[in-house]
Structure 1
Amino acid sequence: MALPALRCTIRGGTLVTPSGTRRADLGIGDDGRIAAIEPSLPAGREDIDATDLFLLPGGVDSHCHIEQRTSSGLTPVDDFYSASVSALAGGTTTVVPFACQHRGKRIRDVVADYRAVAAKAAVDYAFHVIVTDPSETHAIDDLQACFAHGCSSVKVYMTYDALKLNDTEMLDVLELCRRHAAMVMVHAESHDLIAWITSRLLNAGRIAAKFHAVARPAIAEREATHRAISFAEFIGTPLLVVHVSGREAADEIARARHRGVPIYGETCPQYLTLTLRCLCAPLDGSKFLCSPPLRTEADQEALWEALRRGDLQVISSDHSAYNFAGGGDASKTAGGASTPFSKVPMGLPGLECRMPLLVSGYLHGRLDSLQQVARLGCEMPARLYGLYPRKGVLEVGSDADVVLWDLEARGKITKEALHDELDYTPFEGMAVRGEVRRTILRGRTVFE
């Protein structure tokens, strides 16, 4: 059967697919989807030479906070356009940020407002809904309407005064999502334990960034992870534990999975490359404040091993972008040196660095194959949130979201080389192997 004329061909590269890597040509139709994958294709109207390059699916970053007002009233400094430009430069073509219901607000209105804000994005996107007030009069009806219109996931918090659900509310949300086959994401940290430790630290004048790790110990994450898994197991709802920071929470997820419970785990580049020693820097420790906090080198090793074994399934950025020194209130240092760690804006930027750090991790021997890279950064987030196989894979019929990687390239991450609008990166000076040469979104080159 003759192929239709191809709008674009990418020839001479090595494709990374779920079944392995192979040298093949990829053809893209006028509809922006992959029309052919063959050992040899004739040139399309646009012909891209991919000799010596590897073709991975466009990255899917399923956990990022973009133009989302936080519980403290702040909004991260980047907007949907600037954030998505940096995502494309880092090989990510789809993002799934959060439409956040603050207490007393209608979910329907929150989603509509967020959709309008997101219209300027340069990437493809979907939304999760953060549920903080399931007792709001219209909450159940609004969530059901969201599910009917394609939303496939909600996020709940077990900590932060303005966001957390109590156990009864957690069970209610889990039960509703089970009925609608929706995924539940959970920020699992033990709120009361953290509050108890934090109050004692602050009363003793222990306000520096390094005490953030003391206030949120691994046991607080382990206990909440165990409780969330227990609730999901009882209700029978799939659950994904987000931003797993170390061994203890990862072990809870592995034990549940080995029992056959549909529990999934996500970690982030910061937990794989940075440690709590970063928090001890006397002048810039607040650059590295995120929750859960950075942990130890031993936790790093445990996370890489959990990824390699398949006990954790997703790597997301948890991008939450605040300047260090500039940007008014949306700055890590806005309150001055006397600001306690508990009042510093939490979160790290990472949209652009996520896939490069993941590819570099493979090239440094931390993962077994490029298929693992594609599965963790592209395929599994697409599968878990209802985007697969349109996103997350290089197959005939999928969107032609393709990233051309030069695995021989060597470099360092620097603020100057990144494409966001922030005044720092937590990964400054980190050596990386591999580099994005071209990013294609639905058949069109969007970064080169």
Structure 2
Amino acid sequence: METSVFDLVIRNGTVVTASDTARADIGVRDGAIAAIGRGLAGRETIDAEGRYVLPGGVDTHCHVEQMTAAGIMNADTFESATRSAAFGGTTTIISFAAQHRGMDLAEVVADYHRRAEAGAMIDYAFHMIVTDAGERNLAQLPRLVRDGHGSIKLFMTYDPLIVDDAAILSLMQLAKAEGAMICVHAENHSMIAWASARLIEAGCTAPKYQALAHPREAEAEAIGRLIALCEYMDQPVTVFHVSTSEGLALIAAARRRGVRIFAETCPHYLLLTADDMDKPGMEGAKWMCSPPLRRTSDQEALWQGLAAGDLTIVSSDHAPFRHDATGKLRAGPTASFKQIANGMPGLETRMMLMFDQALQGRISLNRMVDLTATTPAKTYNLHPRKGTIAVGADADLVLWNPETRVTLADAMIHDGTGYTPFAGRTIQGWPETVLVRGTPVVRDGATHVPPGFGQFLRTSGKL
């Protein structure tokens, strides 16, 4: 067998990484990138003329087959979520193994593994959500981290999920010893509870009032407190879904003095505002998420934070709930904002929206790759296997047609939610072919691998 002949060659495309753009062929052998050059020969060839070839997206914030503290199961299975991800150009997700109070953490993680092994169509990893930091669960964490679950998600708000500062310090101490990343939903719980109670007392119960119930100051206060804990423990922390200019400013200042704090935002904070929640009846519930959508001035600050490098990841925070009695409207058609499940779908549209913004000149394509693939992979030590196009990396590749214009619609999306908050938005560019480890997962508008094709990825937080 000639070593110069590859299993597959992606020919004539414009290859885009976080640092470089060049016309090149990509040779794939045994699921990995074996060569990048010109004139490569393969047993199979995909012609990428006129296409951009990007590394598959790495979405490090996805809620899949996860039940809320109120007992509402979200709309996606691992099969539906990862199929949707693939159609959008994402080839790796980090989802959550979500512990609720009283649950054994090791059993929770094992249960999520069983579900993902049966359903996932792309590669995956897990953050462990810890809500019970008792001795039993703390004793289990070192082994779970060493088994490849290298990140711990904590909540600074929500009654059944909140972890107090003392517990955060204990978990930071453990994470520091084991080389794990701490990831945090940072909002001040008391401010949200106080504001919510007064809004409901005043009869302000419609979905749009959720934005007022989560004061922007609640995010800033919690981020400031988290920075102090991070600085005290010298433990790296990632702040999930930053939504306000004030929160971002605190992160930027901390990073400039050497604090190891990282931060992500999401397309909905970059492209939507609280005005999108102001809809008749319960329609606005589709745009409810936590933290809530903010102002146009926050959008501008977040884009500047991406440009400056103070925000390092764009994730989806995919939290899918159907707009019916199984999801958002479980408490009925007159439910208050406090009774409506928070979260929006976004796993399929994340890469599309960011690719469109790059073509519009808001960021470069290289920066888009960095924010949606390379740095997410680096943060959890999946790079260079994931998140880049380089010899030795997995052949997770997406062929984008930059000429295709599409108006997003609810019926186009492949997840289980039944709607997209970006319906009616026209975008430029489309992911036509999506490969995971050299195998076409999406091609010609259809999937070509069975549920369970995805593989578990071991992560760590060692930076």
**Would the TM-score normalized by the shorter structure come out above 0.5?**
yes
In structure 1, what is the equivalent of residue 165 of structure 2?
167
CA displacement 1:272-325 (0-9 Å, x = unmatched): 111100111123111100000000111111111111111100011110111113
Separation in 1 of the partners of 2:333 and 2:110? 39
Separation in 2 of the partners of 1:251 and 1:47? 48
- My pick for the range that moved more, 200-209 or 286-295, is 200-209
In structure 2, what is the equivalent of residue 329 of structure 1?
326
Shift of 1:7: 0.4
In structure 2, what is the equivalent of residue 47 of structure 1?
45
Runs of at least 5 residues in structure 2 that lack an aligned partner in the other structure: 444-463
In structure 2, what is the equivalent of residue 244 of structure 1?
242
Separation in 2 of the partners of 1:186 and 1:40? 47
CA displacement 1:388-425 (0-9 Å, x = unmatched): 11110101000000000111221111112222232211
Contact 1:106 1:142 in 2 (8 A): no
In structure 1, what is the equivalent of residue 361 of structure 2?
365
- TM-score (norm. length: structure 1): 0.96
The alignment partner of 2:5 has SS state of coil
Separation in 2 of the partners of 1:194 and 1:419? 34
In structure 1, what is the equivalent of residue 13 of structure 2?
13
The alignment partner of 2:418 has SS state of coil
In structure 1, what is the equivalent of residue 276 of structure 2?
278
Q: 1:406 aligns with which of 385, 401, 409?
A: 401
- My pick for the range that moved more, 236-245 or 13-22, is 13-22
Contact 1:410 1:434 in 2 (8 A): yes
In structure 2, what is the equivalent of residue 306 of structure 1?
305
Separation in 1 of the partners of 2:412 and 2:67? 28
Separation in 2 of the partners of 1:201 and 1:417? 37
| Counterpart residue type for residue 346 of structure 1 | N
Contact 1:406 1:437 in 2 (8 A): yes
CA displacement 1:80-132 (0-9 Å, x = unmatched): 00111110000000110000111121111110011001111101000010111
* Correspondence 1:136-175 to 2 at 5 A: 137-175=135-173
Identity of aligned residues (%): 45
In structure 2, what is the equivalent of residue 440 of structure 1?
435
Shift of 1:148: 1.2
| Counterpart residue type for residue 220 of structure 2 | R
Separation in 1 of the partners of 2:12 and 2:326? 50
Shift of 1:267: 0.4
In structure 1, what is the equivalent of residue 415 of structure 2?
420
In structure 2, what is the equivalent of residue 393 of structure 1?
388
Aligned residues: 440
Separation in 2 of the partners of 1:265 and 1:358? 17
Separation in 2 of the partners of 1:47 and 1:243? 40
The alignment partner of 2:430 has SS state of strand
Separation in 2 of the partners of 1:294 and 1:229? 23
Contact 2:153 2:183 in 1 (8 A): yes
Separation in 1 of the partners of 2:247 and 2:424? 29
Contact 2:320 2:416 in 1 (8 A): no
| Counterpart residue type for residue 96 of structure 2 | F
* Correspondence 1:105-120 to 2 at 5 A: 105-119=103-117, 120=119
In structure 1, what is the equivalent of residue 458 of structure 2?
none
In structure 1, what is the equivalent of residue 350 of structure 2?
354
Contact 2:400 2:429 in 1 (8 A): yes
The alignment partner of 1:424 has SS state of coil
Runs of at least 4 residues of structure 1 off by over 3 A?
Answer: none
In structure 1, what is the equivalent of residue 33 of structure 2?
34
The alignment partner of 2:58 has SS state of strand
In structure 2, what is the equivalent of residue 374 of structure 1?
369
- My pick for the range that moved more, 333-342 or 77-86, is 333-342
In structure 2, what is the equivalent of residue 254 of structure 1?
252
Separation in 2 of the partners of 1:248 and 1:360? 27
The alignment partner of 1:6 has SS state of strand
Separation in 1 of the partners of 2:291 and 2:404? 33
- TM-score (norm. length: structure 2): 0.93
Shift of 1:3: 4.1
In structure 2, what is the equivalent of residue 93 of structure 1?
91
Shift of 1:78: 1.4
| Counterpart residue type for residue 416 of structure 1 | A
In structure 2, what is the equivalent of residue 265 of structure 1?
263
Contact 2:130 2:154 in 1 (8 A): yes
The alignment partner of 2:384 has SS state of coil
The alignment partner of 1:145 has SS state of helix
Q: 1:221 aligns with which of 203, 219, 222?
A: 219
Shift of 1:338: 2.1
In structure 2, what is the equivalent of residue 70 of structure 1?
68
Separation in 2 of the partners of 1:154 and 1:394? 28
CA displacement 1:135-159 (0-9 Å, x = unmatched): 1x32122110011111211100000
State whether structure 2 residue 430 is matched by structure 1 residue 431: no
Separation in 1 of the partners of 2:169 and 2:378? 24
The alignment partner of 1:65 has SS state of coil
Shift of 1:19: 2.8
The alignment partner of 1:348 has SS state of coil
In structure 1, what is the equivalent of residue 181 of structure 2?
183
